[in-house]
Chains A and B, each alone.
Chain A
Amino acid sequence: MPKCLVCYKWTLDEQDIKIKPEDLSLDVSRAKGKISDFDRNAIEEAILLVEKDGGAVDALTYGTTSVKQSLKDALSRGPGKVYWIADASAENADGNVTAKVLAAAIRKIGPYDLILCGEGSSDQFNQQTASRLAALLELPCVSFVSKLSVAGDTVSATRKLEESQEDVTVKGPVVISVLSDINKPRIPSLKQVLGASKKPNEEIKIADLNLKPEKLLPKAVCKSVKGFVMQRKNIIYKESAAADNVAKLKASLTTEGLC
């Protein structure tokens, strides 16, 4: 019966981020928070495992004070308890800082048989956390997993890589990162949403993690962010007769030398 921990990130919903045309800066004023997409797959996978084999699932997150908004959402997806670290250092944390903070927290609240992450976060998509965590915790890492099962202390996984699929087995404990096609995260039911407020959450103070202040300084620092704007012709044919539009498009493709 595995004891699982899922690490998740509370990110801005990129669908609501607009690019300001005057200076290409990002307008995030309308963007709401969400649990990063792939991390929802990680939570769902842990819940599916314990529904089948028994065990327990905890969740862990590190972010700014905004992570408090995520706790109910996380708990409504199935974990029994959520640990949270809210600290200003998260504002500029790179993959290095994030992994060190999470690893230090896991040393404090662990051990766990399975530590699960999404393959990357919806905002940064650095795809570093699982592998860095494994290195810091001296555990094996099986990343980019599309199928997962546990029997006793043996974890079997199918990894989906660019040109191959790889079946691997490993004796736990292990760090896993999951792909989005491993499952379809359920939408929490009303009962789960209401039940979430009765489940425990526990704050971990960064001061209690024995990390020297310089360990919280990022080695990779964001210097500028600019919205990506494509320069396209935007010639759109929208006559009522499809045949007219098709004739015009064919003429355009001919001009471009494409047919």
Chain B
Amino acid sequence: MTPGRTVQVIGTMAGISIRELWRLHVWVAFAVLTLAIALALPHLSAVDSSSRLKLAVVLITGGIGFVTTLFAMLIGASQLRRDLDSRVSVMLFAKPLPISSYLAGRLLGVVAALGAFLAVMAVVCSALLTLHFGSSPVMRTVAMADGWSALSSSGGQVPIPANQSVQHLGGPIGNGLVFHFSGISPQGVDVLLRVDARSRDPGVVAEHLQVEVLASPEPTLAAAHVLQVRPDSPYGHDDRATGAPSSRVLLRARDQAHQDLSLDYCRLELTPQCVAPDGETWIELVRFDPSSAMIVDRGNSLLLAVDGGSFMMNLARGLAVLLAQATLLCSFTLLVASVSNLAVALLGGLSLYFAGNALWALRETLLYGEPGPVTQRLVHLGLDILPDFDRSGVAAHLAAGQAVSWEMVRVAWTYDGVYAVLFFLLAWRSLKGREL
């Protein structure tokens, strides 16, 4: 069979899958979900509008993820089982239809149908959010520093080892850190700053701390400019009663649990003169609070953020990540359905899904549980072979205002795609050995 003919046959099978889903009114489930979201939005309760918006994003991504996962597990497997049990397969495989093309068509049909539903859901849910809240969440793409170094009170710089991710700054004021960024556009870049703080007095909780943030296009920091807090920053400019100079930024202590780009980060404007023509910049964070120590994380304390595009496009990319997981699950349930009945296929799919969402529990078992050697081996095996459905964290990502990049989509499809192909090959082998 020529490649062109193979593609045609796969397309025919995918087409029949999609037609069946349409005729069975599967879209009604998504319509009901949309209606449920629309009805739930006015009843979400949170401390402020921003938190309600965040909650709405979690509700939307969670709801869509649940329905997509369920359908991915159910549709392909039920179509395969129906073909085998009702003996349509006898009619099909008497035609020039290779088993591999049949399976590929079924899988592609489910993925294409779900993809179309998800694209519609992205548009409709974005519109719902805009209608209800008056605006949709602002999305930002963030960049981490390439490197960092410690800055002493006397102005000397000491590089920090690459494997060190957290730095504690205490002692006399005037010390700090220098972050190096490259490949930065000079326009429209924000500096996002979020640090944790510890009071030097054990009886006092450190809530605020003063810092100064400067940026320079040169590593010597000779031409450094003081960065100003943006008017739309959630904090940083709100208290001048301390008598501090206007160049100071008053940070609120935010620990690792607070990573919402809209709510938890102080936003400062990176002016074009701070960025070198080759896109490099050095940002200096200087501590000016003698009463508390600052805890800075290299990965997420100081970030550069640019506009991440519309929420709708980010939601669509997030759903493309979910679709990769759905493809994996569909492929797995096709495998189980090729050897067993639909109930077992669904049970198998759910087991894999829940196991893949609970890998953190396995990791914690290894860290804190002190398991025996056999359990330890089994847990390691589980961690090695089970797909991690929690790795992308699309819902949390979108809720935190972080843009979902095409790179995330690519990584998700590469990671889940390997599993999907593996399960597909096993399903093909199983069907090939089966007598019709």
Are the chains A and B members of one assembly? no
**Chain B interface (Cβ < 8 Å from any Cβ of A):** none
